[in-house]
């Protein structure tokens, strides 16, 4: 998010996110990697092709709950985890 102060654009500090989904091939994205400044540029193509990836980037405080929900049949997190696992870029 940005704001304008006296004709200057100031970037507001973004919350660190941790990725709770499966690894992507070639080390493009590893489970439990923390990102401090938004989504990495090298993932743009993958985020477009598999939107579920973005859903499993969560604030660090939500990590434990998210991990538990990825194993719970019927939860949105479980569905997203499976979609990423079936995505061609996934190692699983």
Interval 58-77: pLDDT, tens: 999 999 999 999 999 999 99
pTM exceeding the 0.85 threshold for the entire prediction? no
Q: Say if 9 falls within a structural domain.
A: no
Q: Say if 20 falls within a structural domain.
A: yes
Mean local confidence (pLDDT), 4-15: 53
Domain around 37: 15-86
Q: Say if 82 falls within a structural domain.
A: yes
Does residue 11 carry a pLDDT above 60?
no
Distance spanning both ends of the chain, measured CA to CA: 34
CA-CA distance, 43 to 49, in Å (whole number)? Answer: 10
Quote the number of domains for the chain: 1
What pLDDT, on the 0 to 100 scale, is given for residue 13?
Answer: 62
Q: Say if 8 falls within a structural domain.
A: no
Could you tell me the CA-to-CA distances from 77 to 1, 7, 39, 52, 84 in Å, in that order? 26, 41, 19, 9, 11
Q: Say if 7 falls within a structural domain.
A: no
Q: Say if 10 falls within a structural domain.
A: no
Q: Say if 55 falls within a structural domain.
A: yes
């Amino acid at each position: 998010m940005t704001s304008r102060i006296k004709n200057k654009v100031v970037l507001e500090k973004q919350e660190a996110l941790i990725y709770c989904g499966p690894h992507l091939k070639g080390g493009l994205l590893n489970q439990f990697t923390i990102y401090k400044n938004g989504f990495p540029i090298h993932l743009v193509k993958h985020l477009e092709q598999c939107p579920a990836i973005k859903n499993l980037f969560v604030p660090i405080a939500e990590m434990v709950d998210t991990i538990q929900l990825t194993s719970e049949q019927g939860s949105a997190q479980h569905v997203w985890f499976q979609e990423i696992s079936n995505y061609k870029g996934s190692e699983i």
